Amino acid sequence: QVQLVNSGGGLVQAGGSLRLSCAASGVAFSNYKMGWFRQAPGKEREFVSGIMWSNGVTRYADFVEGRFTISRDNAKNTVYLQMNNLKPEDTAVYYCAATLRFGWDNFEYWGQGTQVTVSS
């Protein structure tokens, strides 16, 4: 059974940084695709970034604009999202996700989410 536990959110001023963590357990994740999504109040959930656990190939949404970096630690079974130069519009609940399915918009397992608030 796949389990994903998110952590690392918080309140930060514009221009600041946060690192989100996603501790994964329950299965062998070597064939999984991992992703970070976010949902702001009144908006639909949107893809932020993803990584292939097997080969480290990454993907980012256009709005990231080089500010975020996704990575994984195989020994700790943990995926990270380093977020720099945060903007107020980055305020949202951020969710870690995992999938064996094709594509970057078809994730089946979700963490509980962590709140990120960026003040201006």
Q: Residue-wise pLDDT tens for the chain (120 aa)?
A: 899 999 999 999 999 999 999 999 998 888 899 999 999 999 999 999 999 999 999 999 999 989 999 999 988 999 999 999 999 999 999 999 999 998 888 999 999 999 999 999
What pLDDT sits at residue 102?
A: 87
CB contact at 8 A, 80 and 13: no
What pLDDT sits at residue 82?
A: 98
What pLDDT sits at residue 16?
A: 98
What pLDDT sits at residue 93?
A: 98
What pLDDT sits at residue 109?
A: 95
